[in-house]
């Protein structure tokens, strides 16, 4: 039996339109009652990457999250919103309240998680991570529903259902994963392991307003106008690549998931249930600059295997815009290699330590970190 992805057109964050689209998506998968029973405690794992207004398109929109919560409550269950924001934000009640407030969740009328306890869990069948610390309320929930935002990503190229579960890792521990798993392949295996360990029962993506280009924080907003749902995070993300015209094998965690048999290799092996023809929903998203490739990608295939030997000449590095930087320290706290220090109220990067994970760019609340290609990269990309 083919895995299923349901897709409904949704052009705005109007409450009734969202609920209509959600109803189509859920009915196509068996209805909310398939996943939620009466009196269940339901963890709605939203994307609260950092403290940004919903209009920025960086986090799961509160109107979308609220609509899902309403349907969960209608089914007789008890929903609550939960996430651990990025590593530069303290994972405590004050830090969470600030993020909830800025992201528009304080007045949704549904419960917000402030329980910051952490628990270590075993993951014996993990591809890479056999034991991990996760935010404990997720473990206490009867079911987890994952509510990601559709965005591009400078490190993993795409962030949606699979990567959104990285928010299960307590905030200040996230930089440690970047530090230990510098290679995107190892990092991707870790993302897969989190999903396999916690096993969210349902994934519903906010693709009404998505992000293209240099996401997940400072890319361009794009009206994708869809809500997407599936029981399988990898299948959902595969469908997203088809919607935005990305090669799924260029998304590291999808390539691994396909190899491990967690996701079909071909779109024909996925059942798409859509309220309008799937082909009419497709768009060409701008890729993150890290996915564009270096100048070597335009050279002979005989030369490409040697790119790694000269990688340092082709890197894309984070730079500090001193005019915008206010010295808040979010970048320094989120840096896994402690490569950033604050001097005279300005951030400074030690490039001998920098591993190009782009966490500083991702989490800077003032858009003071930009990315720059090396001169050789720019020369060969002309």
**According to the model, what pLDDT value does residue 89 have?**
87
Same domain membership, residue 248 and residue 182: yes
Say whether both 182 and 62 belong to one domain: yes
Which domain CATH number covers 224? 3.40.50.11440
Residue 286 lies in a domain: no
Residue 79 lies in a domain: yes
Q: Is the dihedral of CA 313, 316, 318, 319 positive or negative?
A: positive
Residues 269 and 304 in one domain: no
Report which DSSP code applies to 365: T
Structure tokens at 237: 């993300």
Residue 260 shares a structural domain with residue 308: no
The answer as to whether 315 is a domain residue is yes
pLDDT of residue 56: 97
Alpha-carbon dihedral 60, 65, 68, 72, rounded to 10 degrees: 120
Q: Which domain holds residue 180?
A: 4-281
Residues 212 and 320 in one domain: no
Domain stops at, among 225, 246, 281: 281
Per-position DSSP letters for 73-128, written without gaps between them: HHTT-EEEEE----TTS--SHHHHHHHHHHTT-TTSSSEE-----EEEEE-TT-SS
Supply the angle between the helices 184-198 and 252-259 in degrees, to the nearest 10: 60
Let me know: does 222 contact 213? Beta carbons within 8 Å.
no
Domain count across the chain: 2
Distance CA 237, CA 246 (A): 11
pLDDT values of the chain reduced to their tens digit, one per residue, 382 residues = 899 999 999 999 999 999 999 999 999 999 999 999 999 999 999 999 999 999 999 999 999 999 999 999 999 999 999 999 998 888 999 999 999 999 999 999 999 999 999 999 999 999 999 999 999 999 999 999 999 999 999 999 999 999 999 999 998 899 999 999 999 999 999 999 999 999 999 999 999 999 999 999 999 999 999 999 999 999 999 999 999 999 999 999 999 999 999 999 999 999 999 999 999 999 999 999 988 654 444 444 544 454 444 445 557 899 999 999 999 999 999 999 999 999 999 999 999 999 999 999 999 999 999 999 865 555 555 5
| Within a domain: 183 | yes
Domain assignment present for 262: yes
Our CA angle for 146, 149, 155, nearest 5°, is: 105
Asked if 154 and 263 sit in the same domain, the reply is yes
What pLDDT does 291 receive? 84
**Does residue 290 lie in a domain region?**
no
| 210 and 107 together in one domain | yes
| Inter-helix orientation angle 233-244/252-259, to 10° | 130
- Among the candidates 224, 246, 281, a domain finishes at 281
Q: Is 69 in the same domain as 158?
A: yes
CA angle 93-165-333, nearest 5°?
50
Whole-angstrom CA distances from 100 to 46, 343, 375 are 11, 30, 41
Q: At how many degrees (to 10) do helices 184-198 and 233-244 cross?
A: 130
User: Is the same domain home to 139 and 35?
Assistant: yes
Taking the C-alpha atoms of residue 94 and residue 96, their distance in angstroms, rounded to an integer, is: 5
The CATH number that applies at residue 341 is 3.30.70.20
Distance CA 137, CA 96 (A): 14
Domain check: are 173 and 310 in the same one?
A: no
Instruction: For residues 319 and 298, give the distance between their C-alpha atoms in angstroms, rounded to a whole number.
Output: 26
Instruction: Please name the residues in contact with 290: beta carbons below 8 A apart, sequence gap of 6 or more.
Output: 154, 155, 157, 316, 358
**Could you tell me if 301 and 274 lie in one domain?**
no
Residue 373 in domain: yes
**Which residue, of 257, 281, 305, is where some domain finishes?**
281
Cα separation of the two ends of the chain: 47
pTM equals 0.92
User: Residue 254 has which token pair?
Assistant: 């999808």
> Is residue 86 in a domain?
yes
Q: Which runs of consecutive H residues, i.e. helices, occur in 141-205? A: 161-164, 174-180, 184-198
- Residues 372 and 261 occupy one common structural domain: no
């Amino acid at each position: 039996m083919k895995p299923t992805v349901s897709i409904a057109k949704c052009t705005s964050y109007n409450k009734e339109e969202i609920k209509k689209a959600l109803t189509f998506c859920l009915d196509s998968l068996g209805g909310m009652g398939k996943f939620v029973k009466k009196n269940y405690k339901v963890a709605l794992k939203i994307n609260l990457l950092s403290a940004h207004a919903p209009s920025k398109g960086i986090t799961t929109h509160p109107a979308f999250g609220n609509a899902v919560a309403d349907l969960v409550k209608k089914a007789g269950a008890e929903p609550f919103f939960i996430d651990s924001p990025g590593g530069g934000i303290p994972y405590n009640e004050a830090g969470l309240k600030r993020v909830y407030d800025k992201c528009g969740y304080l007045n949704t009328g549904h419960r917000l998680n402030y329980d910051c306890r952490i628990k270590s869990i075993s993951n014996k069948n993990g591809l890479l991570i056999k034991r991990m610390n996760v935010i404990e309320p997720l473990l206490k929930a009867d079911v987890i529903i994952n509510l990601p935002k559709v965005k591009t990503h400078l490190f993993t190229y795409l962030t949606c259902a699979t990567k959104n579960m990285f928010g299960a890792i307590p905030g200040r521990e996230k930089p440690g994963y970047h530090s230990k798993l510098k290679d995107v392949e190892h990092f991707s295996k870790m993302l897969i392991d989190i999903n396999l360990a916690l096993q969210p029962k349902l994934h519903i993506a906010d693709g009404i307003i998505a992000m293209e280009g240099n996401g997940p924080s400072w890319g361009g907003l794009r009206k994708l106008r869809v809500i997407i749902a599936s029981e399988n995070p990898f299948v959902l993300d595969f469908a997203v690549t088809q919607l935005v015209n990305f090669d799924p094998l260029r998304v590291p965690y999808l390539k691994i998931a396909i190899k491990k048999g967690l996701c079909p290799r071909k779109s024909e092996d996925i059942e798409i249930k859509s309220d309008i023809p799937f082909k009419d929903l497709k768009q060409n998203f701008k890729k993150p600059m890290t996915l564009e490739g270096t100048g070597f990608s335009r050279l002979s295939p005989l030369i490409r295997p040697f790119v790694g030997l000269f990688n340092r000449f082709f890197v894309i590095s984070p730079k500090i815009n001193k005019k915008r930087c206010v010295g808040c320290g979010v970048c320094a706290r989120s840096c896994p290699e402690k490569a950033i220090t604050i001097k005279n109220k300005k951030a400074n990067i030690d490039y001998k330590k920098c591993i190009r994970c782009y966490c500083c760019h991702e989490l800077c609340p003032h858009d003071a970190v930009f990315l720059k290609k090396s001169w050789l990269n720019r020369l060969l990309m002309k």
